[in-house]
Chains A and B, each alone.
Chain A
Amino acid sequence: MSKLLLKLESIHKAFAGKSVIEDVSLSLHQGEITTLIGPNGAGKSTLAKIILGLIKPDSGSRVASSAIRIGYMPQKVTIDPTLPISTVRFLQLANASQQACHDALESMSIGHLAKTPIQNLSGGELQRALLARAILRKPNLLVLDEPVQGVDVNGQNELYKMINSLATSLNCAVLMVSHDLHLVMSATDQVICLNRHICCQGHPEQVTQDPAFIDIFGQTTAVYSHHHDHDHNLHGEVLDETTHTHGADCHHD
């Protein structure tokens, strides 16, 4: 059995009286890739930030292993253009040596951008720089919030390959937030479908057959084997809020 790194139990969180996370429990184990999916406004980023310890839940418990070292790749960073800072210096902020930073950039194949101002990187290059910073601390838990946002399809494939090989070489747990299914699924051990509460969870094959999942994302067969044109389901809000309720279809425990 792989080592338990972090455990959330019955987490609740509300902002300004509006409930965002309801009764969420999950655990993250070393060497496992967990993907958190759900429609816009489902609380994915909030849950990721609770896992990171950036947001305190209103109730429920977060227990982290004492040996936990978290690497975090945020959805985006906005650095004011008036701040003169090179990409390698950006990495050094994670308290790493210059050599380690150059190596990390090399491993993301953007070593040639070390001296470039971070604000001049393209979307894909910036994502790689963020990933490089996340792995600098040799984490055993890697939290990636929408890691391929703003990257074209080819770049997305490459980034996912990098994340997968990193997960193997670091032997770390990965928590990936995504609203994109087909690219993520093939390499995921556990999928958690979130819509404020956990609608369903399990292996990708299992989850895509779950009625609660189909309720939100529609019928998608063999999502991880080939490309489907169903973006209208993935990027939108839940179409009819009332049809989705806690019930026999929900598999959370």
Chain B
Amino acid sequence: MTDFLLYALLAGLGVALVAGPLGCFVVWRRMAYFGDTLAHSALLGVSLGVLLDINLNITIIAIPLTMAIGLVFLEQRGFLALDTLLGILSHSALAAGLVVISLLPDVRVDLMSLLFGDLLAVTKSDLWMIYTVAAAVMALLGLLWKQLINITVDPELAAVEGTNVTLVRTALMLITALVIALAMKVVGVLLITALLIIPAATARRVSHTPEQMAIAASLIAMLTVVMGLAMSWNLDTPAGPSVVISASLLFCLSLAYRRQLS
């Protein structure tokens, strides 16, 4: 097997590993639109990073985090419904990202790879970055697992029982921003939410505990990466969308599986 395919596979598997459990929280907490907003603002992060000549790894995480904090602030003022706010922020960020990219004097940014991912262009140093961040995300998730489940079930009960809800919520936002920065490599900003929620939704159908669902989502996401790469290799299709299509296919299969049971 050629190096670039091996790198692509390893990168995809690393991202799929963390996309599983985080995707579960996105589904449980109904954060799909929130994920989209952060993903779109990551594009703005790239373009601002290039424009201002700042390390892209920093801006990709910093801009979505700023967006998340701004969102919390706007939500508390409560003059617009949350989905409207998310719609405004999400699409403004996407548009601003695209406009800033077009303003760059010499185009050093490959827009298509940002929008749809460029798994086949992953380098060795990308791999290091992916696995370092993935390890950090897994450590955070493991450390805070119980509190995360607790605030997802009922934040007020959790607070009365002594959980620092604000801290755990902020940590989850940080984790989401980190995973989005990673997933951008694989599927690009437009398809990140799909990589998060489709494997989790598929896993729901075979799980009876939160842990089972998180692990199943990881495994399913990894399987879709393998399937997507195989498809891309054989049919010469773009890797990111191929991964997402594979995930959708598995989800449809899981629907049939449940029907057989009942």
Contact = CB atoms under 8 A, between A and B. Distances in A.
Interface residues of B, number: 26
Given A82-B27, A84-B208, A74 B201 contact: no
Given A72-B160, A93-B146, A77 B153 contact: yes
Given A80-B29, A83-B152, A53 B207 contact: no
B201 A85 contact: no
Contacts of A74: 154, 156-157
A133 B30 CA distance: 25
B149 to A, nearest CB: 7
A67 interface: no
Contacts, number: 63
Contacts of A85: 149, 153, 209-210
A70 interface: yes
B236 interface: no
- Measured as residues with beta carbon below 8 angstroms from the partner, the interface class of chain A is 20 to 34
Nearest to B212: A84
B13 interface: no
Given A89-B209, A93-B149, A83 B157 contact: no
Interface string A24-67: 00000000000000000000000001001110000000000000
A85 B207 CA distance: 10
Given A80-B29, A80-B30, A82-B201, A54 B156 contact: yes
B232 interface: no
B162 to A, nearest CB: 8
A73 B27 CA distance: 26
B160 A93 contact: no
A137 B159 CA distance: 14
A70 B152 contact: no
B150 interface: yes
Given A80-B29, A84-B210, A72 B152 contact: no
Interface of B: 27-30, 78, 146, 149-150, 152-154, 156-161, 200-201, 204, 207-210, 212-213
